[in-house]
Amino acid sequence: MKQEAKTQLSKKRIAQTAMTLFLQKGYEETTMREIVHKSGRSKGAIYHHFPSKQEILNFQISLEMDNLRQCLDALISNNQLNAQQKFKGILTYFFENPSLTELTRLHWAEKLPFALLETLKNSLTVVAQYIEAIIQQEIKEKRLNCHYSKELSEILVLLFDIWLDPSIVDFDYQTACQRIDFIALLLEKFDLPLLDENDKNKLKNGLKHYDEKNTL
């Protein structure tokens, strides 16, 4: 294994250890001393890669965004998929990804307030672009006439990423179902029937599963 690959692997392992502590204790309550102890590495080894816990968090966020970009790049560039299938692929990534589901269960937004702000920024600048590309595909193929593709994409990101995240906004299961129905109706109003009944039920069941483990 090349040195660069070894360094990256070492940083990933340190970040995983730190994230475990962040989600258990909260970001503010976790110290670099605890990260050093939990990782089983020397203080010098940790500080060689990360001078602060903020640097560790930034590294982890960057990793997650790289994974997201790779997934969405593959989706958008797949010419065998129509707009609805691509949109479903994005929803699947966010709502059926085990690591993201676990973060929601652990109320990540409360434990990592700094990450919440950075995630929101990335969603509006990165994820919204991919959704807009899907809408533009519909426009190009003359199945849609929309003059606000950018604005609609950003609104959808906010609705799915914030409004439907029970770790950020408190709501009960009935409210969750109503919100999903509203989003589907909103899409229909823009002639974008991207959520069929099966999609809505999958989203609702996902939130119901969360509700069974936690109080929404």
Q: Does the pLDDT of residue 215 top 60, yes or no? A: no
Give per-residue pLDDT as tens, 19-41. Answer: 899 888 888 889 999 999 999 99
Helix crossing, 83-96 with 197-213: angle to 10°?
Answer: 0
The burial of 185, by beta-carbon neighbours within 10 Å (0-12 exposed, 13-18 middle, 19 or more buried), is given as exposed
Which residue, chain included where needed, has tokens 């676990």? Answer: 102
**Which DSSP symbol is given to 208?**
H
Q: Which of 7, 119, 135 is nearest to 68 (CA)?
A: 119
The span from the CA of 140 to the CA of 128, in Å, is 18
- Work out the mean pLDDT of the chain and round it to a whole number: 86
- Residue 195 contacts residue 151 (beta carbons within 8 Å): no
Q: How far apart are the first and last CA of the chain?
A: 45
Q: How far apart are CA 16 and CA 135, in angstroms?
A: 36
Tokens of 205: 């069941």
Contact 32, 46 (CB under 8 A): yes
Residue type, position 168, single letter: I
Residue pLDDT, tens place only, 95-153: 877 777 767 666 677 777 777 777 888 888 889 999 999 999 888 887 888 888 999 99
